[in-house]
Amino acid sequence: MKLFPFQLQRSLVHISVVIASFWIVFSLLFSPAIFFGYLLPRGDALAQSFPAVYSPVTLWSPLLFAGYPVGADPQGMLWYPFARLASLSPVFWNIFAVSAYVLASCFSYGFVYSVTGSKSSAAVSGIVFGMSGFMMAHLGHTNMVHSGAWLPLILWSFHKNFTIGTATWSGIGAIAVGCSALAGHPQTLLYSLMLASAYAIVLLIRLPDLRWRGLFLTGVSITAGIGLASIVYVPLVELARESVRSELTFLEFTEISLSPAQLRRLVFPLEKDSRGLTEFTGYVGLLPLALAWIGARSRLSLSWFWIGVALLSVALTLGPMTPLASWTFAIPGYNLFRVPTRNFLEFTMAMSVLSGFGIAALTRMGRDQRTQTVRKGATITTVLFGVALAYRLYSSGDLEADVVWAAFILTAGVASLIYQASQPSVLATALVCLVVLIDLGYLGRYLSLRNIAERDEIRQPAALNKYTELLQRNFGLVAPIRGIRQPAEAAPPNRSRFWGIPSVSGYNPLALARYSELLDMRLDGALAPSLLRTENRTLDILSLRYLLVPRDVFSGQTSFSSHGFRWRRDEIRIALGSGCGRKNPESAVVPLPDVKANRLGLVTHLACSTSLTTGTVFARLNLLGSDGTSPCLRVFDGPASVTHRKITKATGFLSDT
């Protein structure tokens, strides 16, 4: 006697194979962290997400910002089911990080399979979305990746609402919306719901048979999903009003956007750029560009819709370069989120769907039509590659290893497509998938290796044990002067919360605005030197017991020589000009030693200033000499240098005054 009907057995086997396949792929991709004892990843994940998941479950924590409503902050993933499972032991952290990519690929596979009925097209779509440059580049943003992973399932459920109209799929959609919300990145949730809602509207128009039932079930999915997440999003509304991100100016709203010239990074994702990779990577592979073109020309379900999504999302990443920025800035709620390049999420989803459509279209064509279509797709992709390469050589003149690799991948991709056109078979489709895997896997491995951390980084240093005991007895706080840039033995936030050490500082974009102003605290939790002045009693009011300063301040190695100057390692830490949700003064006065000097060196660090082009004057320095003269020196955006994976823009100048 059979336990399950034959059809159900086949479905269960199919699902199991898909899940197992993607687990194997991503386990191999992230193998340095998984199998060699590292943590995946560092960045915001290590500074914020890991401490949030493994700290005691509570709605209010006295361990951050001298008291913080963690229950109102979705970034803590307090109610996210996968985070709760991972919280059972830090051993599960890497599995938790990798699970987002497995979910993303599996859901994308399922969505495209439900539309095309083709396993090969679904496999390509799953690879493209889960291993895309956007998902891999944001490896350090655990909340964002987990929230975005549910987008394909939301689309899948909405599609089913309008095609078969069952309550089961409406419930699945509610779970998907709820999990995306509880994963803790409201911006990604908003973008996902806007895309899914647009898709539902198109289905409402194009599929009249179950039009009103589909609309009702989709409305239930969204309402119930948001209802599941209301336990954190209702108090979030109040917290957001009081936070440093309560409102954004248009300049802040459009910070970190692409220039038209940077669109060539869709072809050369590893091109050296002072702006880094995390927020500027939307790469989906070279072969998927050809497949997407083929899919766009097909008559498969709503291919024109996905073309529009791809083009619109790229336009949104350009920020103030198009009128879309000013139009979207007028949308309430939408205008609370910065970094337009995060619209690469929608672009990635659209390209993964179109790539799957491309494979499905090829399998349905005759030999001659297939050959002609592949030839055109390969030609267009090669031309795009040539244009991007020509512009790169014209603008920067560099021809590095990534260009050679891209040329190799393009050649392999075109060859696999030609083979697919001439001899369509399982082997030919497997070769196409293999090329896409190698292409995106190479980028993914590169990005993952940049983001692995030693496990010692989350272990409490023995030197902090005494502070834990003393502070518990005295109800005092510590103050990490450099915020999250402190070494581990100096209790950087938010790891200090994980170790049970109460701190006046914290790292969170939803930090209370009045509290941050009181401490003159940056978003990274660093405190202003002005707090140490004798007349400043702020830290006394907060019951500070210990001011934790990195060891190198007392080691005697507080200065170094470079460019003919003797520099102090400590920053003066004067922040001028508003940005990143922080309002800073427009000017400051710095007293200088009473010494005779004939040269002056200045190093500036530009943050949230991607709108500035090289050569732009962004500050003026007035020097008051002993003779009463006051020459004005211009500070301009100079050459960029990358040190310790952090982007800095430095300007040095000499003066005879």
Burial of 370 (0-12, 13-18, 19+ CB in 10 A): buried
Q: Do 407 and 521 reside in the same domain of the chain?
A: no
Q: Do 396 and 494 reside in the same domain of the chain?
A: no
Q: Which domain covers residue 163, as residue numbers?
A: 6-36+69-449
Question: How far is residue 378's CA from residue 365's CA, in Å, rounded to a whole number?
Answer: 17
Asked if residue 454 belongs to a domain, the reply is: no
Segment 577-600 shows an average pLDDT of: 67
622: three-class secondary structure by DSSP: strand
Range of weakest confidence among 83-97, 507-521, 544-558: 544-558
Q: Is the dihedral of CA 638, 640, 641, 647 positive or negative?
A: positive
Question: How far is residue 279's CA from residue 345's CA, in Å, rounded to a whole number?
Answer: 11
- pLDDT level of residue 554 (50, 70, 90 thresholds): low
How confident is the prediction for the chain on average, in pLDDT? 86
Question: How far is residue 554's CA from residue 571's CA, in Å, rounded to a whole number?
Answer: 15
Question: How far is residue 118's CA from residue 301's CA, in Å, rounded to a whole number?
Answer: 13
536: three-class secondary structure by DSSP: coil
Question: How far is residue 30's CA from residue 242's CA, in Å, rounded to a whole number?
Answer: 39
Segment 262-290 shows an average pLDDT of: 87
Q: Does the pLDDT at position 654 exceed 80?
A: no
Question: How far is residue 657's CA from residue 655's CA, in Å, rounded to a whole number?
Answer: 6
Contact between 101 and 447 under an 8 Å Cβ cutoff? The reply is no
> pLDDT of 596-617, one tens digit each?
666 666 676 676 665 565 566 6
Segment 406-433 shows an average pLDDT of: 91
> pLDDT of 350-375, one tens digit each?
999 999 999 999 988 888 899 999 99
Asked if residue 60 belongs to a domain, the reply is: no
CB atoms within 10 A of CB 204: 17
Asked if residue 16 belongs to a domain, the reply is: yes
Q: Do 631 and 499 reside in the same domain of the chain?
A: no
Q: Do 521 and 600 reside in the same domain of the chain?
A: no
Q: Is the dihedral of CA 82, 88, 90, 92 positive or negative?
A: negative
Among the residues of 183-267, which ranges form H helices?
186-206, 211-241, 250-253
Asked if residue 27 belongs to a domain, the reply is: yes
Q: Do 562 and 650 reside in the same domain of the chain?
A: yes
Question: Which of 349, 321, 352, 300 lies closest to 198 in space, CA to CA?
Answer: 349
Name residues whose C-beta falls within 8 Å of residue 258's C-beta, 6 or more positions apart in sequence.
265, 280, 317, 318, 319, 321, 340, 341
- pLDDT level of residue 472 (50, 70, 90 thresholds): confident
Asked if residue 145 belongs to a domain, the reply is: yes
Spell out a b/e string for 213-226, using b for 16 or more CB atoms within 10 Å of the CB, else e.
Answer: ebbebbebbbebbb
Asked if residue 50 belongs to a domain, the reply is: no
Contact between 354 and 292 under an 8 Å Cβ cutoff? The reply is yes
- pLDDT level of residue 652 (50, 70, 90 thresholds): very low
Burial of 179 (0-12, 13-18, 19+ CB in 10 A): buried
The full DSSP string for 249-312 is -HHHHT-S---GGGGGGGT-TT---TT-STTT-----SHHHHHHHHHHHS-STTHHHHHHHHHH
Q: Do 472 and 586 reside in the same domain of the chain?
A: no
- Work out the angle between the directed axes of helices 142-149 and 151-163 (0-180°, nearest 10): 20
Res 571: pLDDT: 59
Q: Which residue has the higher pLDDT, 628 or 472?
A: 472
Contact between 552 and 588 under an 8 Å Cβ cutoff? The reply is no
Strand partners, 620: 634
Contact between 411 and 419 under an 8 Å Cβ cutoff? The reply is no
- Which domain-ending residue is among 528, 553, 578? 553
Range of weakest confidence among 80-89, 268-277, 494-503, 562-571: 562-571
> pLDDT of 313-360, one tens digit each?
999 999 999 999 999 999 999 999 999 999 999 999 999 999 999 999
Question: How far is residue 270's CA from residue 30's CA, in Å, rounded to a whole number?
Answer: 19
Segment 506-517 shows an average pLDDT of: 92
Q: Do 279 and 298 reside in the same domain of the chain?
A: yes
> pLDDT of 634-649, one tens digit each?
555 444 333 322 333 3
Tally of domains in the chain = 3
Q: Do 434 and 527 reside in the same domain of the chain?
A: no
Question: How far is residue 350's CA from residue 344's CA, in Å, rounded to a whole number?
Answer: 10
Q: Do 189 and 278 reside in the same domain of the chain?
A: yes
Q: Do 266 and 399 reside in the same domain of the chain?
A: yes
What is the percent of the chain where pLDDT is above 90? 57
Among the residues of 365-452, which ranges form H helices?
367-395, 401-422, 426-449
Res 608: pLDDT: 64
Question: Which of 211, 206, 103 lies closest to 151 in space, CA to CA?
Answer: 103
Res 583: pLDDT: 64
382: three-class secondary structure by DSSP: helix
Q: Which residue has the higher pLDDT, 240 or 626?
A: 240
Segment 133-160 shows an average pLDDT of: 96
Q: Do 28 and 109 reside in the same domain of the chain?
A: yes
Question: How far is residue 353's CA from residue 152's CA, in Å, rounded to a whole number?
Answer: 10
Q: Which residue has the higher pLDDT, 65 or 575?
A: 65
Question: How far is residue 613's CA from residue 636's CA, in Å, rounded to a whole number?
Answer: 10
β-pairing, 544-548 vs 477-480, is parallel
Q: Do 250 and 368 reside in the same domain of the chain?
A: yes
Asked if residue 62 belongs to a domain, the reply is: no
Question: Which of 131, 375, 395, 358 lies closest to 264 in space, CA to CA?
Answer: 395
